[in-house]
């Protein structure tokens, strides 16, 4: 063998384990047990002394299981609190380092690349990459009377890298039902179909023809979850077993997650391999590699393409010094057709390439064991390349929504460790143009792509407003859903409207009005969560949920938004007071108990209490703070023009203590209302300000005796009502204009149109006339 540096990384052992619940030998293994079985197989696969190699393991890196891949994932049968060390313990190993990688199907190839670099740098000698899922077993046994407990508590340190979900999900996506990968990928495939100008039937057949060869590979794989050969028409023809999941995917085209599978890859330095007696015919080298990340979904120029994936594969081949035609084997991550199509499109690969595009059978047929699929792909690639000495194999591992891509090129041909230029390429990818987005889209638009979730008959649409901004919207309107399932909806005109609960899309504005009748500002006869009292020109609004400290949930927020819409539209109402029922709390902000129940939480477009996100408050709003004003309650008070606080009142933004942030204005308004260092103290520690302290900083305008906040607020309102309502409104408007001008002198000189408008009003003449005549002015609010 060619002379190699003793630190050159090499793959020396691979192993897989699996079981199906319908197999007579089924044992109901936990993810740790499946992973350990695969790891033992990898040790044996080296052809050397397995116990000696286990003792030499210095690094074990675990692929994160699905049950710990998101903040809301669950482990019905329990789990290990240190997966890598649980596996190592079963091998008799005590590694110095244990790693649990981030979420994503790119993780196995990424870990192999990373640890190869670590070995080359002398930071490790013997490393194991291992992962497993027992999703099928968990589903099968979770309701069993004698269900097993997979809980394990293992000592030792763990380098837990967290979920790594940044950029993969957003409030916009969650609010519009774009949660499951199957819906996300459907958007890409429908966009590609439209780009190619194919009919639904033709594109369905193309997807079937892409995946039919995968089923043949799976049928020959003893670890496959669905080892059945299927034809292209069979894969795409809806039947009772092959039910439509989302448009355009029936069940057979969707990654199969209900599996019990584990896989492991053992790596060493050449020096360690020689020392431990691993035969050289077991050695496989990583010749090329790359790791790249795509832009966020809504900002991508072309939703039918995956440039990061294409760049990653090209660069891995470049580092290896070969071309796509030099590969003997390929395994392209195949959770859904677009994941394969997009890479083929970018590389000029034919979907029916005679070499095949999978070595396992692919995720819908071999199985999609969570984030760990590509560990199986690497294992299969290693086995095949040993049978073809000198040949090259490619593994392309995808994570997120075509979001993260790791590529590796392998061969038995000896090769030194070669660094890649992924960082440089990532800079190039990041610099590509991005599509501007609209959070609250309103008006006519064009459908860019879409999907329909068949179980709920709900549509998700990504479109472009006429100004080019991209948006996401949803619809459960039967008419809209029907249009999306017929003909070619991409490129068609639709109407979108934004609401606090999300964006909705219909075929016409008239249909939108039918589904969501516009509401003219006005007061209801009765409110469920709010009390309203009208006293001449004064409006008093009381949040009436004392049992929950006047916290706010969507129904309460919706009522408050309507009330303040009506207040600002009513010319006979000049001042408003908002307070809370009882003497314990003004408001504790968002109702976290309601949120924890799983019911959807949303706020009106005008914000908490209909105030915190309103573009302007053109008439005075006074907060009468009786008790706690915490979280959203403090944010409501901050949004008001004046704050009258009971002397026992307390103000605070404790969101950081419950894993949240004061995103309804607190992070913006508090640093502008009090000294920045004080604001940072309140925001970062969650400490509370007393009424007196808040007054000293200017957050509170007046402090009232205990129990008198509302009474004093009424006195303040009366003083405001004594002045011209027109002048009051103009003053608020001009203060807001001045606030946008940094220089004080420039702000004073700012030619406000509000002043010109005031000078021709009745009140502008009435005020001086009444003063001269020594009488009380009669204001007309115009």
Q: Which residues are catalytic?
A: 635, 655
Q: Which two tokens stand for residue 29?
A: 């293994």
* Bond from prior residue into 733 cis (ω within 30 degrees of 0): no
Of 360, 349, 355, 335, residue with least CA distance to 216? 360
Q: What tokens were used for 184? A: 């996300």
- Give CA–CA dist 692/650, Å, rounded: 9
Q: Alpha carbon of 579 to those of 305, 416, 522, 780: distances in Å?
A: 53, 71, 20, 28
What H or E segment, with its residue span, contains residue 755? helix 753-758
Residues 6+ apart with CB under 8 A from 62: 35, 83, 84, 87, 98, 99, 100, 101, 130, 131
Give 25's Cβ-side CA count (13 Å radius).
3
DSSP readout, 502-516? EEEEESSHHHHHHHS
> Rounded to a whole number, what is the largest CA-CA distance in the chain?
110
The answer to whether residues 298 and 435 touch, using CB atoms and an 8 Å cutoff, is yes
Q: Angle at the Cα of 199 (from 194 to 204), degrees rounded to 5?
A: 95
Q: How far is CA 363 from the centre of its chain?
A: 23
Q: Say which residues have a Cβ less than 8 Å from residue 569's Cβ, sequence separation at least 6.
A: 521, 522
- CB of 683 closer than 8 Å to CB of 670: yes
Contacts 24+ apart (CB under 8 A), 635-638: 635/589, 635/608, 635/662, 635/664, 635/665, 635/666, 635/669, 636/578, 636/586, 636/587, 636/589, 636/608, 636/609, 636/611, 636/612, 637/586, 637/699, 638/612, 638/665, 638/666, 638/669, 638/670, 638/673, 638/699
Contact predicate 529/556, CB 8 Å: yes
> What is the β-pairing status of strands 9-18 and 642-646?
unpaired
Q: How do strand 689-690 and strand 650-652 relate by DSSP bridges?
A: antiparallel
450 strand-pairing partners? 461
Cα separation, 627 vs 249, whole angstroms = 55
Please state, in angstroms and rounded to a whole number, the distance separating the CA atoms of residues 150 and 79.
5
- Three-class SS of residue 650? strand
CB 451 within 8 A of CB 485: no
Q: Which residues contact 383 (CB under 8 A, 6 or more apart)?
A: 14
Angle in degrees, 0-180, between the axes of helices 31-45 and 83-91, rounded to the nearest 10 = 50
Helix (H, G, I), strand (E, B) or coil at 352: coil
Tokens 């916009």 belong to: 172
CA–CA gap between residue 782 and residue 778 (Å, rounded): 11
Query: How many residues can be counted in the chain?
Result: 782
Residues 345 and 202 sit within 8 Å (Cβ to Cβ):
no
DSSP 756-782: HHHTTSHHHHHHHHHHHTTS-------
């Amino acid at each position: 063998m060619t002379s190699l540096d003793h630190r050159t990384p090499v793959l020396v052992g691979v192993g897989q384990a699996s079981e199906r619940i319908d197999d007579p030998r089924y044992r109901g293994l936990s993810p740790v047990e499946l992973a350990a079985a695969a790891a033992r197989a990898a040790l044996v696969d080296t052809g050397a002394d397995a116990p000696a190699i286990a003792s030499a393991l210095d690094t074990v890196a675990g692929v994160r299981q699905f049950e710990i891949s998101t903040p809301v994932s669950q482990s019905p049968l329990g789990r290990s609190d240190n997966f890598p060390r649980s596996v190592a313990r079963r091998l008799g190993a005590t590694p110095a380092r244990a790693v649990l990688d981030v979420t994503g199907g790119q993780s196995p190839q990424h870990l192999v690349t990373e640890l190869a670099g670590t070995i080359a740098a002398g930071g490790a000698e013997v490393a194991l990459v291992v992962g497993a899922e027992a999703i099928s077993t968990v589903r099968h046994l979770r309701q069993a009377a004698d269900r097993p407990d997979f809980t394990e508590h293992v000592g030792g340190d763990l380098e837990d890298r967290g979920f790594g979900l940044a950029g993969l999900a957003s409030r916009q996506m969650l609010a519009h039902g774009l949660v499951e990968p199957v819906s996300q990928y459907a958007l890409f495939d429908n966009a590609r179909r439209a780009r190619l100008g194919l009919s639904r039937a033709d594109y369905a057949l193309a997807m079937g023809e892409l995946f039919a060869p995968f089923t043949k590979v799976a049928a020959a794989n003893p670890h496959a979850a669905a080892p059945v050969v299927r034809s292209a028409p069979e894969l795409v023809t809806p039947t009772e077993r092959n039910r439509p999941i989302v448009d355009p995917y029936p069940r057979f085209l969707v990654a199969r997650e209900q599996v019990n599978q584990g896989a492991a890859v053992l790596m060493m330095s050449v020096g360690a391999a020689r020392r431990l007696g691993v035969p050289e015919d077991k050695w496989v080298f990583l010749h090329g590699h790359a790791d790249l990340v795509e832009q966020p979904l809504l900002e991508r120029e072309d939703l039918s393409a995956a440039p990061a994936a294409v760049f990653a594969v090209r660069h891995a081949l470049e580092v290896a010094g070969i071309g796509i035609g030099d590969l003997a084997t390929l395994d392209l991550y195949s959770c859904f057709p677009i994941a394969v199509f997009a890479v083929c499109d970018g590389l000029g690969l034919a979907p029916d390439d005679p070499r095949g595009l999978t070595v396992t059978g692919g995720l819908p047929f071999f199985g999609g064991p969570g984030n760990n699929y590509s560990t199986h792909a690497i294992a299969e690639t290693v086995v095949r390349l040993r049978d073809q000495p000198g040949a090259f194999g490619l593994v392309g591992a995808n994570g997120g929504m075509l979001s993260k891509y790791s590529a590796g090129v392998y061969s038995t041909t000896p090769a030194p460790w070669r660094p890649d230029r992924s960082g440089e390429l990532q800079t190039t990818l990041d610099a590509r143009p991005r599509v501007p987005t609209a959070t609250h889209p309103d008006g006519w638009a064009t459908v860019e792509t879409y999907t329909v979730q068949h179980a709920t008959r709900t549509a998700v649409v990504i479109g472009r407003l006429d100004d080019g901004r991209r948006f996401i919207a949803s619809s459960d309107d039967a008419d809209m859903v029907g249009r999306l399932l017929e003909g070619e909806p991409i490129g068609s005109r639709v109407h979108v409207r934004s609401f606090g609960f999300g964006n909705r899309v219909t075929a016409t504005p008239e249909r939108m009005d039918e589904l969501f009748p516009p509401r003219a500002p006005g007061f209801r006869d009765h409110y469920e969560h709010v009390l309203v009292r009208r006293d001449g020109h004064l409006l008093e609004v009381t949040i009436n949920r004392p049992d929950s400290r006047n916290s706010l949930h969507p129904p309460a927020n919706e009522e408050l938004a309507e009330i303040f819409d009506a207040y600002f539209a009513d010319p006979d109402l000049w001042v408003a007071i908002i307070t809370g029922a009882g003497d314990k709390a003004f408001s504790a902000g968002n109702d976290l108990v309601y949120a924890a129940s799983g019911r959807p939480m949303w706020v009106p477009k005008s914000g908490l209490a209909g105030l915190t996100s309103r573009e302007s408050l053109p008439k005075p709003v006074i907060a009468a703070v009786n008790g706690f004003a915490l979280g959203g309650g403090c944010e409501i008070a901050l949004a008001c023009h004046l704050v009258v606080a009971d002397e026992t009142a307390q103000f605070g933004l404790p969101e950081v203590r419950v894993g949240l942030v004061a995103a309804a204005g607190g992070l913006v308004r508090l640093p502008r209302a009090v000294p920045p260092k004080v604001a940072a103290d309140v925001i970062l520690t969650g400490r509370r300000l007393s009424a007196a302290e808040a007054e000293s900083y200017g957050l509170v305008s007046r402090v009232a005796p205990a129990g008198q906040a509302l009474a004093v607020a009424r006195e303040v309102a009366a003083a405001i009502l004594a002045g011209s309502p027109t002048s009051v409104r103009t003053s608020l408007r001009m203060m807001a204009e001045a606030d946008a001008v940094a220089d004080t002198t420039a702000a004073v000189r700012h030619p406000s149109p509000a002043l010109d408008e005031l000078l021709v009003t009745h009140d502008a003449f009435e005020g001086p006339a009444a003063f001269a005549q020594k009488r009380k002015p009669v204001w007309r609010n115009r």
